[in-house]
Each structure stands twice: as structure tokens, then as C-alpha cells.
Amino acid sequence: MFDLLIKNGVIVDGSGRPAFPGSVGILGGKITAVIPEKEDSLKEVRAERVIDVKGKYVTPGFIDIHRHADAAVFREGFGELELRQGLTTIVNGNCGLSVVPSPKERRQEILGFLAPIVGNMPAGVPLHSFRSYINAAKEQKLPLNVGMLIGNGTVRAAAAGYRSGSLTDGEMRQVHRYLEAALSDGALGVSLGIVYAPEYNYSTEEFKKVLEPMRNSGVQLFTHIRGEGDNFHASLREVVEIARYLEVPLHVSHLKCVGQRNWGHGIAKALDILDEARESGLAVSCDVYPYTAGSTQLIQILPPAYLEGGVPGILKRLTDPAMREKLTDILQKPGVDFENLVNLVGWENIRMTTLNQEHNREYSGKSVAEIARLKGMDPYACAYDMLVEENCEISMVDFIASEDDVRKVMRYPYSNIISDSVYPAGGIPHPRLYGTFPRVLEKYVKEEKVLDLETAVKKMTSVPAAVCKLTTKGLIREGMDADLVVFDLERIHTGADYDEPKKPGEGFSYVFVNGEPAVVRDQIQKQSSGRVLLNGEGAR
């Protein structure tokens, strides 16, 4: 007897093998039978509830191992936009930018810096340690599964703030304590955001020292590399060197090449670098989002020297006429010492998307170049002034990559699909927040045939599960967790775009989280069957 039988489906089991007609039996939140269709195959089967999906596809629940919902999991309404695109598991704490650890004396400073990425953290959530955050998350009624990485950038900020220079011996010991505690308490991996403050202060050799607690641990190292433009290949080689020294598997986040002058040849060489690392014995993988635009803090247009000291330091420099003049000179010139987005893509390809001041909100969704024209200003001065007015809490969407490069990384055998969704408070988010997974199915499978359905599903299920060692997720097999999605490929659609991004995915008839219905006939169900996933507890 099953709790639930999903019958007459076409099963795409997440392994990459060809789809086959069959049924799935669920008992106690687990898949207990996968029944291929044949005459009389269901004759003796009994279930408390039977759903006849009439030829729709049945796949494992989709897994997004790169989101920034660290704060969103504690906000009202969390889960709806995720479930509506077939997501049953997400992983936060990416790009070195986890919300923990945020000790009391640095909480405001850290959360202020992270606000354009994670949005507002509800009051009362304990953030002084990884364990305190996880315990609070466990008390939430989670509608889907949530895992967490420990962000190495926030670890440094907790120990030493956003100043430049090397760590003192005492600060290094504190960094090690934070990392050791998080790994002991179930972090699914360590994330780096080498392009961001304060991690860009570390040299390659300093990274090896800082990350010593994870050496030989088998824990995955996730990394947003130092640069994806003119210094792309050197940045990849840097993280390969770090991972090889630590003897840990390496996962390169949102692999892409920034700036038209680097497209094509840049990504081809990058994949060669990853292949060479694999051939030398290092476990290396990467992920990709199905868009040519990224999204992050607008302060990422600034060189490292202007980011020192966090938001107060940035504001001081942006209100100093001499520093502004010097900054404009820096941004107008190409260089490889930092990721100069203004020079790489131009102001016309950088949109301000989250603006909190009432007098600025009319500019949300417009490029810096367009805003400057409307204001009758130089774009450099316009950007500096608005950063000051908004206390640096501006999110941006930046058009940086090539569609051909996206397709190439998507086809790479060792890549998986992610969204890299940020969750700013208000404004106009990147459409990937709502549309990533239906977009893959609609555009890259159904319309353009970049991937066949079985491969696409594998890259959204079993591959990311393996990266995070989620051994009970990502496959339709007996004994696996009953995280499942049912859809008609012809109905899959996302209307989310850069002008109207807040449109949920369409066509997902059913979504099940640990055996419980979360979406039924396209309608969200009130349920709390999600779990916190920890290394060593269902993430083995």
C-alpha cells in the first residue's frame, strides 16, 4: 500500500537515461516503487491516493544550488515563486556572501553590505553563528528544502570588518574558528566571492592559509572567481591552484566570460582549463544560468580601493571631489587588476533595479546611461550621486555575457543549471528569480534544442545533488526522497523578462516535496514539508 501513486506518467528519472512510461509509488515521504508500464503492471497496486497524470512528464524536483535567499527563507510568502518553477531544493550562502556569521558588533555593517543581494533580514533572526541560523531555519515552516554554504567573505568581515590588508594572527584564528564551527554544524560547502569585498584582499597564498580548516575534508569549494573579464583565465587558474592545494573538489559558480572583446575564445579556453584540471585528478565542475545578464550590487563597478571600509568608506570616497575625479579616470581605462564592468560593458548595459528613495524609484529598471540623460548628467557623476543617495543599497542587472557562450557552458558535460537569484527588497529583480527553470525547458529544450529533455533534467536534478552530496535527492529511484515535478512540456512557459520579471513559471501541474503536495493542478498548496539539509544528515 502506497500513500500516493502517480500513474501513467513519462518518467525522466534524472540520470540522463531515456524517458520511459511508468508510475511512481510513494510511502512515508520516500519513493518506494518505480513501475515501468506494461500490461497489468498496476493490477495489484493499492494506494490511499492515486493521481493519473495522463502522459505528463514526471521528474525529480529541481535543485538550485546557487540562490541568495538567506534572508528570504524567514520572510512571509517564501517558497511560492520557487515552487512555481519546479524547485524543491535550494542552497544559499553563495559567492562568499552568507548572512552568517554576523556577530552582534558587526551585524548592521554586514547586513548593510549584503542588502542589495539578500534584501532585508527580519528582526530577531539569530545570526551570530552558522548553528544559530540553522536552528532558526529549522523552526520555520519551510515549503521546500533548504541547504546552506558558509560564505568566506562574511567570515572575514565578521573577524576583521571590511578593511584592506592581511589578517592579524588573532583574526586568522577567529576565521578558522568560524569555518571549523560551520563545517562541524553541517554547512554543505564553503563559498568564495573573490571579486567582492573583503575577500579580494586575500592573495592566493593567503586563501590557502585561511581555508586550512577544510583541507582534505572532501567538502566542496564553491567560488565566484576574482574576475570573469580580462583576467578570466588567470582567475580560473587561481582557484584551481587553491583547490588542488586543499585537496578538495572545486565548483566554479556561474561560469561566463564578461565583455564582448572576450566572448567566444574566452569561454573556450576556460573550459580547456577546467578539463586540464580534471585530467590532472582534481574534481572540477561548474554551473551556468540561462541568461546573458547578471545581477549584483551596483558598488561592484568600483575598484577594490574604493570598497575598503564597507559602506561608510565607500560613501566617504564618493563625496570627495578629488576621489570622484580619480575614480572616473580609473573606470575609463581597461585593466586586469579588478573587474572593470564599466569599461567592459558600458553604462548602457548596466541597469539600476532596486532604488529605495522615493525620488529615485521612477528610474528603477533603467540603464545608468538613460538615467544620466534624463537627469542631464554625466553617467559617472550620476552613478556616484545615486549610490550616495541610496546609501549604496542599489541592485543592478548588467548585460555582460554572450548567448553562444551560455549555450556552450550549458552543453559542457560537467555543468549544471542554476539561477544565481538575488532577493533585494523591492524594485525590479532579475527575471531569473522567477523564470530560470521554465526558461531552460521552454527555450533551450523545446525551442532551440540546445539540450534534450533528459540531459536538461539531469543538469537540474542529479548533477547539482551530487555536487552538494545530497545523496537522497535528484533521482527517481527506490529509497530516494519523494521530491517530484509533473509537467506538460508544451505548457511550460515563463513570461518573466527584464521589463516585467515578476511573472511566475507556468505549466507545472504538480510539485511534491518529501512526498507532500506543494503544487496541485498549478495551484500552490499550504504545506511545510521542506527540511533543512545539512552535511551529514541526508546530505552525505
Query: How do residues 134-185 score in pLDDT, each as one tens digit?
Result: 999 999 999 999 999 999 999 999 999 999 999 999 999 999 999 999 999 9
> Does 493 reside within a domain?
no
Distance CA 130, CA 151 (A): 10
Coil, strand or helix at 474 = coil
- Closest alpha carbon to 128 in 112, 105, 146: 105
Instruction: Mark whether 97 and 178 lie in a shared domain.
Output: yes
Identify whether 538 is part of a domain.
Answer: no
Tell me the average pLDDT across 387-414: 98
Q: Are residues 251 and 178 in the same domain?
A: yes
Is 198 found in the same domain as 343? no
* CATH code assigned at 70: 3.20.20.140
Question: Is there a single domain that holds both residue 435 and residue 379?
Answer: no
175 and 320 in a common domain: no
Report the pLDDT averaged over residues 463-474. Answer: 98
535 domain residue, yes or no? no
Inter-residue contact 415 to 286 (CB < 8 Å): yes
Residues 6+ apart with CB under 8 A from 395: 116, 117, 295, 296, 297, 298, 352, 353, 354, 422, 424, 427, 429
Range of the domain at 97: 62-292+401-472
If one counts the domains in the chain, the total is: 2
**Rounded average pLDDT over 455-460:** 99
The angle subtended at Cα 494 by Cα 492 and Cα 495, nearest 5°, is: 140
Residue 501 lies in a domain: no
Please, which residues have CB within 8 angstroms of residue 115's CB and are 6 or more apart in sequence? 393, 424, 425
How many Cβ atoms sit within 10 Å of the Cβ of residue 293?
19
Query: What are the pLDDT digits (tens) for 107-116?
Result: 999 999 999 9
* Residue 220 belongs to some domain of the structure: yes
Answer whether residue 539 shows pLDDT above 90.
no
Final residue of a structural domain among 399, 429, 454 = 399
**Whether residues 312 and 454 fall in one domain:** no
Same structural domain, 176 and 276: yes
Note the pLDDT of residue 537. Answer: 67
31 in a structural domain: no
- pLDDT tens-digit profile of 473-530? 999 999 999 999 999 999 999 999 999 999 999 999 999 999 999 999 999 999 999 9
Mean pLDDT score of the chain, rounded to an integer? 97
Of the three residues 428, 445, 472, the one that is the final residue of a domain is: 472
Residue 174 has a CB neighbour count (10 Å cut-off) of: 19
pLDDT in tens, 76-102: 999 999 999 999 999 999 999 999 999
Q: Is the pLDDT of residue 284 over 80?
A: yes
Asked if 171 and 276 sit in the same domain, the reply is yes
| CA pair distance 251, 497, nearest whole angstrom | 28
343 contacts 197 by C-beta, under 8 angstroms: no
User: What is the rounded average pLDDT of the residues 232-255?
Assistant: 99
Residues 239 and 146 in one domain: yes
pLDDT of residue 45: 87
> What number of other Cβ atoms are within 10 A of residue 336's Cβ?
14
pLDDT in tens, 16-60: 999 999 999 999 999 999 999 986 677 788 999 999 999 999 999
Q: CA-CA distances (angstroms) from residue 463 to 14, 93, 415, 492?
A: 8, 19, 8, 22
Q: What is the pLDDT of residue 255?
A: 99
Asked if residue 57 is part of any domain, the answer here is: no
Mean pLDDT confidence for 342-353: 98
| pLDDT over 90 at 368, yes or no | yes
377, 399, 421 - which closes a domain: 399
The mean per-residue pLDDT over the stretch 360-366 comes to: 97
The predicted model gives 280-308 an average pLDDT of 97
Which cell numbers hold the place of 172? 586568522
Q: Quick check: is 22 in a domain?
A: no
Percent with pLDDT over 90 in the chain: 96
Position 538 scores a pLDDT of: 52
Do 394 and 421 fall into the same domain?
no
Give the CA angle between residues 93, 190, 124 to the nearest 5°: 35
Q: What pLDDT is stored for residue 540 in this prediction? A: 40
Read off the pLDDT band of 241 (50, 70, 90).
Answer: very high
What band does 421 get if pLDDT is binned at 50, 70 and 90?
very high
What is the spatial distance between Cα 219 and Cα 190, in angstroms, rounded to a whole number? Answer: 8
The per-residue pLDDT for 24 is 97
| pLDDT attached to residue 536 | 73
Q: Are residues 451 and 308 in the same domain?
A: no
Same domain as 325, residue 211 = no
In this predicted structure, the answer to whether residue 196 has a pLDDT above a threshold of 90 is yes
Strands (E) in 470-536, as ranges, are 484-487, 508-513, 516-520, 523-524, 532-535
